[in-house]
Chain A
Amino acid sequence: MTDDDTGTDSGTGSSGDTGSRDTGDGPETGPDTDAGVADRDGDTGTGHGDADRREMHMLHPLSAVIRTLMTGTAVGLGLAYLFLGGNFVDLLLIPILAVALAGTYVYQHMYVQRFRYGLVGDEVEITSGVLSRRERRIPLHRVQNIDIRRPFILSWFGINELHIETAGGGETEVSLRYVSYEDAEQFQERIRTEKNRAEQEDQDLSVDAADTGRDGPVVPERRDETPVRTTELSLGHLVVYSIFSLTRGRSTLVMGVGAGMLGMVLYAPAIFEIVPPFTVVTGLFFVALLWGQGAFQRFTQYHDTVLEEYDDRIRIEHGMFTRHERTLPREKIQSVTLIDDPVTRLLGLAGLRVNTAGYAPGEESKEYRALPLTERDVAVDTMNRIMPGEVTDWDSPPVRARRRYTVRFLIVAAGLLSVLAVVPRVADVPVYLHPALPPILLGVAMAAAHLRWKHLGYATTDESISARSGFWHREAVVVVYRRVQDVIQSETILQRRWNLATLTPDTAGSYGLTRSNPDLIDIDRETSEELRALVREKIRGEQKAMPEPVDDTRGKRGRG
C-alpha cells in the first residue's frame, strides 16, 4: 500500500535510469546496513565519485510508528464509519481495528527497515519495497532541488520530510518520510556539494570553462558559510499581503459578490423586497468568512519568511505551523517575477516569485513566492541580484495596441448594453436603463484600455529580456538569455491587421502552473522580429563560447 511512496517516474527523458527493477538482494547484502555512516563529513575534497563507495541511510526510527498512525487513522475512521453505520459498534470494531493497526505496523516496520536512501557515485539511490523490491537511481544532474518539509507537531520532535525534486513532470519524484532534521540537512548539503563538484569537474574538463557564459566556477565546499544577504518579511507586510492578495478564485468571488450587491442596490433595489435582508447579511458574512480564511491561510503559510542569498544558491524558509524550506541552486532558477497590484503599487510594495523548472513544494496556491511582499526597492534589488540585467526603462507597445483594446472593451460594453436592453422584452423583469449608462460604459472601456496598455511593457538588457503586463495583477518577468529554451513569435489574424505580434521567450518553467515566460504582448511586428533576432544572436554567441564536448565516460550527464 505504501510502495508508491517513492513516487512515480515522471521525469523527462532518461527515465530508464530511475526505473524500478527487481534486484533480488535485500539491503542486508550491503556492507553498511546500519544508518549510513560511511562518509558523513561532507568534505568532498578527496576520493569522491567512486561508484563503489556506498553511503546508504535509513529513515527515522519512529517512521514506522508515525506512518502506521497516519494510515491507521484512515483505516480506523473507515472501519468506524462502516460499523457504526451497520450497528455493530464496539465489540467487533476494537479487535478489527487492532488487527488492522498491527498489520499496518508490521508492514510499515518492514518497509522502513528495508528502506535505504543515499548517494552512490553520482546518483541518488533509493531501495524500497516489502513484497517487490524496487531500486531507483536518479542521476545527480537530474536533481533540481532537495527540500526539507517540517510537518506541524512532528517537527517539534525533530521529525522531518525530505523531498527530492527533478525537472519536468508535476510531482515530487521521491518523498522520504520521515527523516531526522540533522540527517535531512546533512543529506541536502551532501547532494548540493556533490552536484557542485560534478559540475565543477565538467567545467574543468572543458577547455574554455570561464567563457561558457555560465555563472563563474562554484566554490564547492563551505558548509557553515553565512548568507551573503538575508531578507526577512516584516509582520506589517505579511498582514497587507494576507489581506489583499487572495487566491484568484477567492478574489473573483469576493469581488463578484461585491459588484453584484452594488449592482442590485443601484439598479434593482426592488429585489430586496423579494429577498429577505438576512439572506443578504448571510451572503456577506459568508464572503467575509471566505476572505478571512484565505487571509489566515496566507498568513500562516508565509509567516516568518526568510530569504537567504548565498553565492551559489538561495534558500527560502517560511510557514507558521509547517515550516517549508527550499534551497534553489542559482543555476536552476529559470526566471524571476515581480508581482504587484493596485493596492501594493499605491503602498510602494511588491512581491517576488522565483520560477524553477519543475514543481514547487508547498505550492497550494499557484503563487509560490520567495518574498511575498516587501518594499518595492528591496524586491527590485533582490530580483536584480538573482537574475542579472537591471531594467531601468520599460518600452511600451505602440499606441495602436491601445486602440485595439478600446475596440475590444467597447464590444464588451455594447454586448452588456444590448443584454440589458433585451432582457425586459424577453423576461418580465423591469430593468431601468439610466441614460448616463452608455457614456459611463464608454468611459470605463476607454479607461480600461488605457490601463491595460499602460501596464504593458518590455525591456532588453545585455543579459536579459523582460516583459510586464496586467493591471489588477501585474507581473514583470525577467529571464536571462541563457535560460531561454526557444523563441516563439505569434501573430493572430487581428494582430496582423494592426501589424502587431506577441513574442514569447520560452523557459523551462513549471508546466502549466504559473506563467514563467516573459510574454511581450502586442509589440510592433518589426520590433518583434528584431528582438527575436537579438535573442537568437545572444544564444548563438553563447553556443560559440560553449566548448566541444569532451569524450569522457560520463558523457551521459548534461541535461537537467
Chain B
Amino acid sequence: MGPYLYGMSDNMDDMEELDRTVITLWVLLGSISAVIATAVAGGAAFYLALPFVPIAGGAFVLLMLVNAAYQLRRYQIWRFSVDDDALYLKRGVITRRKSVVPFSRIQHVDTNRNPWERLFGLASVVVYTAGSRGSDAVIPGLRPERAEELQSSLRRQANRFRGADTV
C-alpha cells in the first residue's frame, strides 16, 4: 500500500518538536505526584515502624529519577506536523498515539495558557473536531508566538472547507 503514503511525514526528523522548556515544566508537575507518593510511602513506613528516612528518601529519589526519565522520553517522542491536508500528532510513552486531524474536519482552534504555562513562557493549541474524541488534539509546550502562528495557520486551512458539511 505504498502509494498511500505519499505526502505524509512519518519521519521523526521531518516533524516539529515541542519547546525544550516544557521538559522542566513537566518534570516539575510530575514531581508533585512524586512528593505525594513519597509522603504515602513515608507514612506507611512510619505506621509499620520501619526505618522512615531510608524508605521515604529512597522512594523520593527513585520516583524523581523515574519521573525525570519519563518526562524526558515524553518530550523525545512528542512530534507534530502541519501537512498539506491534515494535522498529524505523535505522542505517548506507555501508550503511543498517532492522530490525524484532516483540515476539513476542524471545527475551531484555541490557544491556551494556564498559569503554569505562563510561568514558563509556554502556550498550547487545542484543535476541536466534531469527533467524540475531538479534544484529544492538544499540542502543549509551544512558544506563544509559535502557538499563535499555528492557530492562525490551522484556522486558515480549516477555513478553506468552511462551506463543506462534514458532520
Contact = CB atoms under 8 A, between A and B. Distances in A.
A464 interface: no
Given A214-B165, A539-B86, A543-B103, A530 B1 contact: yes
A485 B134 contact: yes
Given A532-B100, A539-B102, A540-B102, A550 B163 contact: yes
B136 A508 contact: no
Given A199-B165, A214-B165, A485-B166, A490 B134 contact: no
A220 to B, nearest CB: 15
A549 B94 contact: no
B137 to A, nearest CB: 7
A536 B102 contact: yes
A506 B95 contact: no
B58 interface: no
Given A547-B163, A558-B163, A512 B132 contact: yes
Nearest to A552: B163
B37 to A, nearest CB: 20
A486 B163 contact: no
A532 B136 CA distance: 17
A487 B99 contact: yes
Contacts of A540: 7, 85-86, 102
Contacts of B136: 486, 488
Interface residues of A, number: 60
Contacts of A212: 164
A357 interface: yes
A489 interface: yes
A509 interface: yes
Interface string A474-518: 000000001111111111110010000000101111111000110
B159 A546 contact: no
A509 B167 CA distance: 9
Contacts of B164: 212, 546, 558
Contacts of B103: 543
A214 B134 CA distance: 22
A202 B167 CA distance: 15
Interface residues of B, number: 41
B134 A486 contact: yes
Interface stretch (B20-28, B63-71, B104-112, B144-152): B104-112
Given A202-B163, A542-B104, A543-B161, A536 B8 contact: yes
A212 B164 CA distance: 8
Of A167, A331, A508, A510, chain B has the most CB atoms within 10 Å of the CB of A508
Nearest to A554: B163
Given A533-B8, A546-B104, A508 B163 contact: no
Given A13-B107, A199-B165, A558-B165, A486 B129 contact: yes
Contact of B130 (A12, A512, A530): A12
A546 to B, nearest CB: 5
A403 B38 CA distance: 38
B167 A167 contact: yes
B162 interface: yes
A206 interface: yes
B86 A506 contact: no
A539 B85 contact: yes
A115 to B, nearest CB: 30
B15 interface: no
B121 interface: no
A168 interface: yes
Interface string B85-104: 11000001011111111111
Contact of A490 (B97, B105, B107, B167): B97
Contacts of A549: 159-163
B100 A536 contact: yes
Contacts of B99: 486-489
Contacts of B94: 492-493
B4 A534 contact: yes
Of B7, B133, B137, B163, chain A has the most CB atoms within 10 Å of the CB of B163
A555 interface: yes
Of B1, B10, B167, chain A has the most CB atoms within 10 Å of the CB of B167
A231 B162 CA distance: 37
A491 B104 contact: no
Contact of A488 (B1, B98, B105, B130): B98
Closest 8 CB pairs of A and B: A485-B131, A506-B131, A508-B130, A533-B4, A530-B1, A558-B162, A540-B85, A487-B100
Given A496-B96, A549-B161, A560-B167, 13 more contacts: A205-B163, A206-B163, A482-B166, A506-B131, A506-B133, A510-B132, A540-B7, A542-B104, A543-B161, A546-B164, A549-B159, A558-B163, A559-B167
Interface of B: 1, 4-5, 7-8, 10, 85-86, 92, 94-105, 107-108, 128-134, 136-137, 159-167
13 contacts: A331-B165, A485-B130, A486-B100, A486-B131, A486-B134, A488-B98, A488-B99, A493-B95, A536-B85, A543-B103, A549-B162, A558-B165, A559-B167
